[in-house]
Amino acid sequence: MNSSFASAIYRGKVRHRRFSPKQHEFEYDVFMMYLDTSEIETIFSLSPLWSLSRFAPARYKRSDFHIDGKHADLEGLPSIDESVRNTVESAIGERPNGPIRMLVNIRYWGFNMNPLSTYYCFDSAGENVIAILAEVNNTPWDERHAYVLTGSDFSTRQHVRFQKKLHVSPFNPMDMDYNWQSTTPSKTLALHLENWQNQQKITDATLTLNRETINQSSLNKILIHFPWMTVKIISAIYWQALKLWWKGVPIFNHEKVIDKDSPFEHKNNCVDLPGNDSRGNRV
């Protein structure tokens, strides 16, 4: 067993609550991968069920994750590490010089779904968070938008309020603010995100996870416990949307907001087919 990885499996629960115009709440079990970008190749060589380059029960595909504004064409796509550093440097004027660690879902049985991908940028010692790149994905439009979050003291807890830039849920309007609260990943990980309109909290989502060591056994076991994690996420999104519609929650038209100063907004390809695919697949 290798316990020296900074990477880990995080398992726990996600809870969503709506407070207006109708009350609604649900919770389910989840797991997410926490990947140090320098360890990705090693992690995905631990088990034949996990792959970087071929169809597998669990697959990391580079183009599923953040693409900086300089690389709209997937040809010549840089590593995820370089793309995150490029975007953060463009936003705050300082290039992160420590580890980049990403809390994400990879592809399971070919299906990709990441409502939120969180990239923690650490200081050179790899202990304190100096910035977070939070990339939001929507469905069915399959668009992404990246927010770069910083604060005066981000080392162990992060708290930021910022304007919504991407239409995510058809049951929420665009004129909203996010209130982000999170902890630096350790034995536990917490992330709480609120949607505010004026002075009223409309919805919130809370992720509470516990760290598990990565090794061949744990990678295989997590696939037994959660074989269809991304399909479960997609199904839950549409099932809960149906419930909101049934309750009479208003639907807002999809708005495409063009922000020339924002990081690159990119279309996802959410379904993977068996066979090798090297395009846009650099780690």
Each residue's pLDDT expressed in tens, for the chain with a length of 283 residues: 346 899 999 999 999 999 999 999 999 999 999 999 999 999 999 999 999 999 999 999 999 999 987 655 566 789 999 999 999 999 999 999 999 999 999 999 999 999 999 999 999 999 999 999 999 999 888 899 999 999 888 888 999 999 999 999 999 999 999 999 999 999 999 999 999 999 999 999 999 999 999 999 999 999 999 999 999 999 999 999 999 999 999 999 987 755 544 544 555 544 554 444 444 456 7
Q: Spell out where the chain has E strands.
A: 8-18, 24-36, 50-51, 58-59, 100-104, 107-108, 116-122, 129-137, 144-149, 157-163, 177-183, 188-197, 200-212
Burial class (CB in 10 A: 0-12, 13-18, 19+), 8: buried
**Cα separation values, 92 from 7, 87, 99, 109, 197, Å:** 26, 9, 17, 37, 27
Tally Cβ neighbours within 10 Å of residue 105: 20
Residue 2's pLDDT is what?
47
Q: Which of 254, 283, 277, 26 is nearest to 141 (CA)?
A: 254
Tokens standing for 93?
Answer: 């004027």
**Cα separation values, 233 from 112, 114, 238, 271, Å:** 10, 9, 9, 14
CA 99, CA 78: separation in Å to the nearest integer?
A: 16
Residue 257's pLDDT is what?
59
Residue 152 amino acid letter = S
Residue 278's pLDDT is what?
41
- Cα angle 128, 131, 133 (rounded to 5 degrees) comes to 130
Residue 141's pLDDT is what?
87
CA 85, CA 67: separation in Å to the nearest integer?
A: 11
Residue 131 main-chain phi, psi, to 5 deg: -160, 155
Contact between 51 and 61 (Cβ < 8 Å): no
Contact between 57 and 227 (Cβ < 8 Å): yes
Residue 176's pLDDT is what?
97
Using DSSP's 3-state secondary structure scheme, residue 21 falls into coil
Cα atoms in the 13 Å half-sphere on the side-chain side of 24: 20
- Cα angle 72, 75, 81 (rounded to 5 degrees) comes to 75
